[in-house]
Amino acid sequence: NSGTVTVGNACPITDGASAVLMMKESKADELGLPPLGYVKSYSYEGLSPTVMGLGPVYAISTVLKKSGMELDQMSFVEINEAFAAQVLGCVQLIESDQFAKKELGRTQAIGKLEHERLNVNGGAIALGHPVGVTGNRLILTALKELHRRREQHALVSLCIGGGQGGAIILERAS
């Protein structure tokens, strides 16, 4: 009713296809396949479907705890955009001490997420949202960007309909 989510600030549903081979490094070596990168850690979290767009915040908090890493160690962060306001809400909560204490069991905010480190290639509003392939699109885009920049780590996340969030920390293969 208020017009805050429009065609201009929501991601388009796009066509897409993708295939990913995921295996142990020893198997890749055996097959002569050079890896693009490694999965350092991942997490899926559930939350109320009424706030499902905030799922990435919960998953990001957990994946950082599991990996022993901090947000500032990530070269860049991808939060898949269902729509612009959803990502802005996630950033606000990632940086909130109050939310971290009340909802995430942390003593302080997850960290500071500078806009220049967020969705560095434009995110889903710019690149599209290929339903059913979004995870692969996010991971491959991040790994390719890590190689292009010669950086080490990226954090990729998305909300999942029905009240979930997912996050993964990727490491560039040398």
Mean pLDDT score, 55-59: 97
Nearest to 117 by CA among 69, 151, 140, 93: 151
The CATH-assigned architecture of domain 7-172 is 3-Layer(aba) Sandwich (3.40)
For residues 81 and 125, is the Cβ–Cβ distance under 8 A?
yes
94-136: pLDDT as tens digits: 999 999 999 999 999 999 999 999 999 988 888 877 778 889 9
Count the neighbouring beta carbons within 10 Å of the beta carbon of residue 142. Answer: 26
Percent of the chain past pLDDT 90, that is, above it, reads 70
* Whole-model pTM over 0.85: yes
Mean pLDDT score, 41-60: 94
In the chain, where the domains are located = 7-172
**Sign of dihedral through CA atoms 93, 99, 104, 106?**
positive
* CA separation for the pair 44, 62 (Å, rounded): 8
Q: Give yes or no for residue 1 having a pLDDT over 60.
A: no
Q: What share of the chain is helix, strand, coil (3-state, %, to 5)?
A: 45, 20, 35
Mean pLDDT rounded to a whole number for the chain: 92
Minimum mean pLDDT among 19-33, 60-74, 78-92, 106-120: which range?
A: 78-92
Do β-strands 153-160 and 76-79 pair in parallel, antiparallel, or remain unpaired?
A: parallel
Instruction: Check residue 133 and report its DSSP letter.
Output: T
Cβ contacts of residue 58 below 8 Å, gap of 6+?
A: 45, 47, 103, 104, 165
